Structure 1
């Protein structure tokens, strides 16, 4: 049986450039094993951005740090609600220091995976995500899951008031307790079913069974179409990400070509100057030899 949670963790723990191929392989393995629900769940997974992947590494490999984040977030919100100014200032200082330590831990974990490429990590987005998680419990839950797909940010600290809800049960009604109770009239006796009624009933039951079978087949086709659409959507998303990465690399390459062109022109000038110097010295030697 496919260990789906292990597979999902492996997908979000690995660097994102290999996500698409790894997801496709996992889906194919699930389908070969006859695990349609697992394949469907895997197909719904989305490729994380680099910043989200870095945050996921902390959640998956250093979960105790995320638990500390949740505790600090709870303390901050409590201090805000109760307007404890001194405590809030102290907690805010802790927040800044803790976020810095989280970002550094994230950088080290990513460096273990990608080596020298860690120098180009979007650590600003990573920091913004951790800061947002401290401010918003829902974001903290997403970070804790280790399956974040994109970086998030938060405009400022403070809780958004939630509407007060009342549980409505089957004992609630809008009737007046003092209103008199009027008994409902007894339902009329059903007429005896004739032989024609029975025949019609059997026909309708056969039609109902056939309609239900058609419905099941249609649901199956719909499910397959949705899976295909979802997979196609993932392909488009992944290609968009790859195109963005290629465009970034193209821009860097163009800049590198420009730098190398300038260096080549400088080298040409130096070579021409050296040749002129050689010619001048050779002419002086020839003149000296002639005399």
Structure 2
């Protein structure tokens, strides 16, 4: 038993079976006198539904995994060369493949008895975009051991399709239209100001939600850690109880055998003593008889 094989098994299980199976492996590692492996196994985190669906996709569709990794390499290479046409074509392929793979992950999850909703499917898509953007994320995903969805690192510009901005008109505006242009420009400026305010407010709201999410994730992680420790402790105590019960049974058998042996030995000793007494009495009788 090693960490890699245990991780392969655990992250292939439905999330509801993960904790119990991990506890069994922790107990087995401790029984095998390998505390370091037990610690490493106990540190494996239970996957979220989205992470589990991503792992399921890796295991069930290896050809699609290779295709997505190749597409990611192409996107990054095109971005490095600033090949606009190629980048747009690869981006189109990316969007189609990501959507297809996310739907496939959702279908596989349902077949495995764990239906997932739109939110989980969206998190799978986020993971796949991260796989395309970051070779390290691609390798992490391809291992099939995700515990939570991957996210795209900031600064990768090739992960979203963008349309070229319209070229500015080179025809100068006629002077008689200057007054007419001023009002739309002012309205546009006001609209832009409102949009910026709304964007800032939305950003503040998003930051607040991010903080709340991190807080809730931290609370969940702590609760999972406590559950993991308790599960591992229960498994350890269960193993100790089994060992103690076995030792007790063996001791009872040994005591029963010793008692039987003692009884037999006592009986034999008594018989030997009576025989010795009879022999001694016979000697005495013979010695007391007069000579003929």
TM-score (norm 2): 0.52
Partner of 1:104: 103
Partner of 1:230: none
Partner of 1:67: 66
Larger Rg: 2
Partner of 1:145: 143
Unaligned runs of 5+ in 1: 160-232, 242-291
Aligned partners of 2:137 and 2:145: how far apart in 1?
12
Q: How has the CA–CA distance of structure 1 residues 37 and 234 changed in structure 2, closer, same or farther, with 3 Å as cutoff?
A: farther
Matches within 5 A, 1:1-291: 2-114=1-113, 117-119=115-117, 122-154=120-152, 155=154, 157-158=156-157, 236-237=223-224
Aligned partners of 2:55 and 2:119: how far apart in 1?
14
Aligned partners of 2:225 and 2:119: how far apart in 1?
19
Deviation for aligned residue 1:36? 2.9
Unaligned runs of 5+ in 2: 159-219, 229-292
Deviation for aligned residue 1:38? 2.4
Q: Secondary structure of 1:46's partner?
A: coil
Q: Secondary structure of 2:11's partner?
A: helix
TM-score (norm 1): 0.52
The 4+ residue runs of structure 1 with deviation greater than 6 A are none
Aligned partners of 1:149 and 1:17: how far apart in 2?
13
Aligned partners of 1:74 and 1:53: how far apart in 2?
24
Please tell me whether the aligned partners of residues 51 and 123 of structure 1 are also in contact (alpha carbons under 8 angstroms).
yes
Q: Secondary structure of 1:151's partner?
A: coil
Aligned partners of 2:118 and 2:69: how far apart in 1?
28
Deviation for aligned residue 1:21? 1.2
Q: Deviations over 1:215-273 (max 9, x none)?
A: xxxxxxxxxxxxxxxxxx966236799xxxxxxxxxxxxxxxxxxxxxxxxxxxxxxxx
Aligned partners of 2:124 and 2:66: how far apart in 1?
17
Aligned partners of 2:132 and 2:110: how far apart in 1?
25
Matched residues, number:
166
Deviation for aligned residue 1:37? 3.2
Please tell me whether the aligned partners of residues 2 and 37 of structure 2 are also in contact (alpha carbons under 8 angstroms).
no
Aligned partners of 1:14 and 1:60: how far apart in 2?
11
Higher helix share: 2
Q: How has the CA–CA distance of structure 1 residues 120 and 94 changed in structure 2, closer, same or farther, with 3 Å as cutoff?
A: closer
RMSD: 2.6
